[in-house]
Chains A and B, each alone.
Chain A
Amino acid sequence: MEFPRGDERVSADPDFLEQVAARSGEKIAACYQCAKCTAGCPMAAETDLTPNQVMRCIQLGLRDRVLGASGIWTCTSCTTCTTRCPRDIDLARVMDTLRAIALESGVKPAQPQVPLFYRIFLGLVRRGGRQNEVPLMAAYGLMTRNPFKDLLLGQRMFLKGKLNPFGPKVRNVEQVRRIFERAEARSRDARKSTRDKSERAPGTPAGDRESAEAGEAWK
């Protein structure tokens, strides 16, 4: 991991700490860098920003460094960090918040296949109310241009009666759609306020606007 040093100029967003703290409801300023989160993190060995480094970067207002990190996408949501934090900070929740802000503000995700998978997953839930591995894996395979990745495994599972391509849908799928629509409306509001904030903050690059659309989680 590299931290900027020497002559390198780093742009900090003084509002970022407040923004993430308010959105997540977590006292991020309380982190005193004991690194117990990182000691238990299953992904710490292969990430660019470990959990405690993510927390420190938020405290320092290093908005782009955090939102562009692969660490927020390699998080497995196992909540070991949350469970062990002596300052009672729910780090897994902070990671959720960072992913949401990253997508809303149009920063290109360091591991785009992760939000892509979520988007396909939620798209299927929106349409049918339930998840089904067959269209999920087919769509993911096509969109990552690697349709044969788990095909052999899929075949074996099918033969074991473990795949059900024609699973039933939810009858009142309209109700499920309303849940999505309400969540979307709330997210639009949040995205607007995120953009307003980032426009106000001096020295904050606008990010990769093109990927903003890809970042709309459930479209």
Chain B
Amino acid sequence: MEVAYYPGCSLHATAKEFDLSTRAVCGALGLKLVEIEDWNCCGATADHAMSDDLAVGLAGRNLALAARQGMTAVLAPCAACFGRLKHAAKALAAGAGELPDDLDDQAAAAVKVYNILDALLHLVGVERLQEQVTKPISGLRPAAYYGCLLVRPPEIAEFDDPENPTSMERILGAVGAEPVEWYHKVECCGASLAVTNTPSAVRLVADILTHAQSAGANCVAVACPMCQTNLDTRQAAAGQRSGAELDLPILYITELVGLALGLDPKQLGLGRHIVDATRLVKVAFEHPEQPAAAGG
């Protein structure tokens, strides 16, 4: 199946490993990604904080370009891009906002927008994913972290439960990991203020990571480059602030799925994280003997 691919700015820079692992995993699962020709920045948090017209125009241009390439669905791995593109599609469909005259508003509004979890669950399917697993990552106990924009606001995201989503856990379970139960799945990490109000972002990161750790997680799974960058790069400061020894690799869901599909960790970008993620490969594939039954 062919899907338009909207990497967004961060997948070409700070989230290079999200780009690498998404392309590798989708390729291995038979999802052909066709990058949107001449795509532009979706505007992220800056534009809707300033102007509705800019928000719809910038994100909407990408949808119109995808439609022009004959695509009916677009994969936006970045959760922020996903939210902005969906918002634009809805606004254009409702006649709120318009694109430059040489772009087709209605064609743009008709493009269906997928995040990576939705694509894995509904364009690939759990059964198909499970069938292709060659190296189950059974040593991993990830905390599945969704943050804000994958599930909120529900009228825009139209994806999973906004308070207790479970799609990431379903994917992690299918590739052999054991996601932990925890209570900070959808708490905001403060990424939109990470530069302008760094101490506030560090406080939120510390809160999320200490809870993940105390729930027994040995890594955090994410599907948003803003969350990944914030939780990864501010982890040292968060550890200092909370007094906890934090050492949690923050991995994209596609890196974890890629490992289970037997793809090369280097090709998936595992060496690019600030908190070392390469040692997790060893942990992932350790298959300790099942402990004897209690009392046995």
A and B, one complex?
yes
- Which of A116, A153, A164 is within 8 Å of B233, CB to CB? A153
| Given known A-B contacts A42-B187, A80-B152, A186-B51, A167 and B12 have beta carbons under 8 A apart | yes
Residue-wise interface mask of B (189-208) relative to A, using a CB-CB cutoff of 8 A (1 in contact, 0 not): 01111011110100110000
Q: Are A186 and B272 touching (Cβ within 8 A)?
A: no
- Which of A46, A121, A187 is within 8 Å of B51, CB to CB? A187
Any chain A CB within 8 A of the CB of B244?
no
Q: Which of B191-244 contact A (CB under 8 A)?
A: 191-193, 195-198, 200, 203-204, 233
- Which of A80, A156, A176 is within 8 Å of B58, CB to CB? A176
Q: Are A129 and B204 touching (Cβ within 8 A)?
A: no
Q: Are A78 and B41 touching (Cβ within 8 A)?
A: no
Q: With A and B bound together, what is the CA distance between A180 and B98 in angstroms? A: 12
Q: With A and B bound together, what is the CA distance between A103 and B193 in angstroms? A: 18
Residue-wise interface mask of B (163-205) relative to A, using a CB-CB cutoff of 8 A (1 in contact, 0 not): 1000000000000000000000011101111011110100110
| Given known A-B contacts A77-B192, A82-B153, A170 and B38 have beta carbons under 8 A apart | yes
Q: How far is the CB of B6 from chain A (nearest CB, A)?
A: 12
Q: How far is the CB of A156 from chain B (nearest CB, A)?
A: 6
Q: How far is the CB of B13 from chain A (nearest CB, A)?
A: 4
- Among A14-22, A31-39, A52-60, A132-140, which stretch is in contact with chain B? A132-140
Q: Which of A154-173 contact B (CB under 8 A)?
A: 156-157, 160-164, 167, 170-172
Q: Are B14 and A74 touching (Cβ within 8 A)?
A: no
Contacts of A217 in B (CB 8 A): 50-51
Any chain A CB within 8 A of the CB of B40?
yes
| Given known A-B contacts A121-B44, A163-B13, A76 and B272 have beta carbons under 8 A apart | no
Any chain A CB within 8 A of the CB of B288?
no
Q: Are B196 and A117 touching (Cβ within 8 A)?
A: yes
* A/B pair count, beta carbons within 8 Å: 163
- Which of B14, B196, B204 is within 8 Å of A163, CB to CB? B14
Any chain A CB within 8 A of the CB of B142?
no
Q: Are A175 and B193 touching (Cβ within 8 A)?
A: no
Any chain A CB within 8 A of the CB of B136?
no
Contacts of A46 in B (CB 8 A): 200, 203
For residue A23, which residue of chain B has the nearest CB? B52
Any chain B CB within 8 A of the CB of A83?
yes
| Given known A-B contacts A77-B192, A121-B44, A167-B12, A83 and B152 have beta carbons under 8 A apart | yes
- Which of A132, A175, A180 is within 8 Å of B9, CB to CB? A132
| Given known A-B contacts A46-B200, A160-B272, A179 and B41 have beta carbons under 8 A apart | no
Q: Are B196 and A162 touching (Cβ within 8 A)?
A: no
Q: Are B51 and A175 touching (Cβ within 8 A)?
A: no
Any chain A CB within 8 A of the CB of B16?
yes
Contacts of A103 in B (CB 8 A): 50
Q: With A and B bound together, what is the CA distance between A180 and B43 in angstroms? A: 11
Residue-wise interface mask of B (63-105) relative to A, using a CB-CB cutoff of 8 A (1 in contact, 0 not): 0000000000000000000000000000000000011101100
- Which of A156, A160, A170, A218 is within 8 Å of B40, CB to CB? A170
Q: Which of A116-142 contact B (CB under 8 A)?
A: 116-118, 121-122, 125, 129-133, 137, 140
For residue A114, which residue of chain B has the nearest CB? B196
- Which of A80, A171, A182 is within 8 Å of B57, CB to CB? A182
Any chain A CB within 8 A of the CB of B54?
yes
Any chain B CB within 8 A of the CB of A62?
no
Q: With A and B bound together, what is the CA distance between A46 and B207 in angstroms? A: 15
Contacts of B186 in A (CB 8 A): 80
For residue A140, which residue of chain B has the nearest CB? B195
Q: With A and B bound together, what is the CA distance between A74 and B191 in angstroms? A: 12
Any chain B CB within 8 A of the CB of A94?
no
Any chain A CB within 8 A of the CB of B49?
yes
Q: Would you mind naming 12 contact pairs between A and B with Cβ atoms under 8 Å apart?
A: A74-B200, A80-B152, A83-B152, A117-B195, A118-B46, A162-B15, A163-B13, A170-B40, A180-B54, A182-B98, A183-B53, A187-B51
Query: Which residue numbers of A lie inside 8 Å of B, CB to CB?
Result: 42-43, 46, 74, 76-80, 82-83, 90, 92, 96, 99-100, 103, 111, 113-118, 121-122, 125, 129-133, 137, 140, 149-150, 153, 156-157, 160-164, 167, 170-172, 175-176, 178-180, 182-183, 186-187, 217-218
Q: Which 10 A-B pairs have the closest CB atoms?
A: A78-B188, A179-B57, A183-B53, A217-B50, A131-B9, A183-B54, A118-B46, A78-B148, A129-B40, A121-B46
* Given A156-B274, A171-B38, 14 further pairs, Cβ under 8 A: A77-B48, A77-B49, A78-B148, A79-B152, A83-B163, A96-B52, A122-B43, A162-B16, A167-B9, A167-B12, A178-B100, A179-B61, A180-B54, A182-B57
